[in-house]
């Protein structure tokens, strides 16, 4: 098992900056590493056991301090991603009606992004909008590892070497 060592001041700064946006390249730049080599340095720092341990400890401390956990974030995204417009509005023909806010539960209310009413010459116009369902589902899918940026191709390739050099 590797021996734990004290992080350098730059590595400590990298850990603090990495927590800002989880972007290793930008964290390395903000920590004072060269922008030219920041990508490789950031990636390498993330492989150091001591740096990984410091990041995990800082994330745990942040969870305790803010009382916000990864599970809470995932649950909130799931509410938005699986929200159903049928719980909020009813429509048929040329008629649309909204459910009263008192009839909605806390989870449904958390999914509402906007409700507004505007008086027009033809009566009132109501705008109702839920939070971005597609965006929430994309974030959940990425969290679950469903979408990959890289295409991995595996298989077998037969190669035939032809020796046609005259002797």
Lowest mean pLDDT among 26-40, 78-92, 149-163: 149-163
Dig out the tokens for 16 from the structure. Answer: 């603090």
DSSP assignment letter at 8: P
Q: What is the pLDDT of residues 68-107, one digit of tens each?
A: 788 888 999 999 999 999 999 999 988 889 999 999 999 9
Residue whose entry in the numeric block shows the structure tokens 């159903």:
84
Q: How far is CA 16 from CA 11, 82, 100, 111, in A?
A: 9, 34, 45, 32
Domains delineated in the chain = 9-68 (1.10.10.1400), 73-143 (no CATH)
Does residue 139 sit in helix, strand or coil? helix
The H helix count followed by the E strand count for the chain is 7, 4
- The pLDDT value recorded for residue 163 is 67
pTM for the complete prediction?
Answer: 0.54
- The pLDDT value recorded for residue 156 is 79
Q: How far is CA 95 from CA 98, 107, 125, in A?
A: 10, 26, 13
């Amino acid at each position: 098992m590797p021996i734990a060592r004290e992080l350098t001041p730059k590595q400590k700064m990298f850990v603090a900056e990495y927590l800002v946006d989880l972007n290793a390249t930008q964290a390395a730049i903000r920590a004072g590493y060269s922008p030219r080599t920041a990508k490789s340095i950031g990636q390498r720092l993330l492989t150091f056991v001591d740096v990984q341990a410091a990041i995990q400890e800082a994330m745990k401390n942040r969870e305790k301090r803010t009382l916000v956990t990864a599970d809470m974030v995932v649950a909130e995204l799931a509410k938005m991603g699986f929200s159903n417009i049928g719980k909020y509005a009813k429509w048929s023909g040329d008629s649309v009606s909204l459910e009263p806010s008192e009839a909605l539960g806390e989870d449904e209310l958390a999914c509402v992004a906007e409700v507004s009413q505007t008086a027009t010459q033809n009566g009132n116009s109501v705008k109702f909008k839920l939070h971005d369902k597609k965006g929430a589902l994309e974030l959940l899918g990425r969290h679950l590892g469903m979408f990959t940026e890289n295409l991995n191709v595996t298989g077998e390739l037969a190669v035939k070497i032809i020796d046609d050099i005259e002797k």
